[in-house]
Structure 1
């Protein structure tokens, strides 16, 4: 098993690259789409799904490639990851997410420190985040139970799809939500909307975790050292 510091660095670095891709592709899409929001969203979606697949493939063997506090908490609740590891992962994910946003700003020569003005709120948005996160967790746990090698591709494809079928464009990740509040770009969310988004995400994750334990209980591992189990996020 990789050492704790290698696993934590993998979570930090993976989440950094994830947010750099999400925000950076959003900035590039907004620049090139000529005001066509649908085209800009498509150009934001494809790099996000692609980078998730790559990041899970390269960091999964080290840390499990969670990149998402909701995923980390789900594994801890299932007894497949230690709570001390979970806490360290969550800190690394949040720090990495913010670093990724700042790097995206710097690459495009924008002010590093920003606060988003994009309002994302309302019952439809909150329901979308609940559904997006529950679907993500079901994708992960379902693949792990029956075909673990498919996790990177399934997660990348799920997020690519969820960008379009959810009203919120599928943040599905508390660390991503926090970091995107610090970017007044195409991918941003105003800080006033962060709390409700995270609450909805955690609710969706809790429901999916409980349901997955019943759906795939025959395929669930009883190991207590599941920090390396391949996973992923948005």
Structure 2
């Protein structure tokens, strides 16, 4: 039985909330447990995020497990979902992300909302976001086309954990997560002034990946029609 739209929206909201809570919460924990060691902090942050993504995708995949506006927009571009669904999913993801950020702040005894002052800019960093998002979309839709769909969770979790390290931006690769991370002035935060460029490059990476997906997996586009 196909899940109703309301159930899918709740799944997207909850999944994105837990994802952001993991990113921010593990970043706060890492900075407290390993003060002065940025490399160790990033390792702790990346391992927690990758592991949480595996668990969340496995848990929510029977209902809906995109958790990312770029993935949702690519799904719309190749015809897997309609425009109304896509818009509703993006709203749910953004709201869920913000709730996750607030929850993480409060859990660690911080103000519910504290605007980040962590500026992230520069050509290399922005290129890193485009590369991270491009790769993520390829991994998601490539794994979906495999004979074992249960591997999607492990592929995505592993990719994101690795992309924290091989991209200069530490792989946000998600507009909803990016917006939510402005609400926490902690290790994982991003200043509001950096968001527009990050999201723009994420969309560029996603658009290029959508073209690559259509080329690499033409059957997916045909089946969606």
TM-score, length basis structure 2: 0.97
Equivalent residue, structure 1, for 2:45: 44
Instruction: Let me know the Cα RMSD of the aligned residues.
Output: 1.0
Equivalent residue, structure 2, for 1:80: 80
Equivalent residue, structure 2, for 1:229: none
Q: Specify every segment of 5 or more residues in structure 1 that has no aligned partner in the other structure, as ranges.
A: 225-234
Query: Are positions 1:126 and 2:126 aligned together?
Result: yes
CA distance in 2, matches of 1:70, 1:34: 34
In structure 2, do the counterparts of structure 1 residues 219 and 84 end up closer, same or farther at CA, with 3 Å as the change threshold?
closer
Partner of 1:169, secondary structure, is: coil
Equivalent residue, structure 1, for 2:60: 59
Q: Deviations over 1:100-128 (max 9, x none)?
A: 00000110010111110011001011100
**8 Å contact 2:214–2:220 — kept in the other structure?**
no
Query: Are positions 1:105 and 2:105 aligned together?
Result: yes
Equivalent residue, structure 2, for 1:172: 173
In structure 2, do the counterparts of structure 1 residues 36 and 78 end up closer, same or farther at CA, with 3 Å as the change threshold?
same
Partner of 1:146, secondary structure, is: coil
CA distance in 2, matches of 1:174, 1:180: 10
Equivalent residue, structure 2, for 1:135: 135
In structure 2, do the counterparts of structure 1 residues 203 and 5 end up closer, same or farther at CA, with 3 Å as the change threshold?
same
CA distance in 1, matches of 2:90, 2:220: 26
CA distance in 1, matches of 2:50, 2:72: 20
Q: Specify every segment of 5 or more residues in structure 2 that has no aligned partner in the other structure, as ranges.
A: none
Q: How does 1:1-234 map to 2 (within 5 A)?
A: 1-63=2-64, 65-147=65-147, 148-218=149-219, 222-223=223-224
* Count of aligned residue pairs for this structure pair: 223
**8 Å contact 1:19–1:97 — kept in the other structure?**
yes
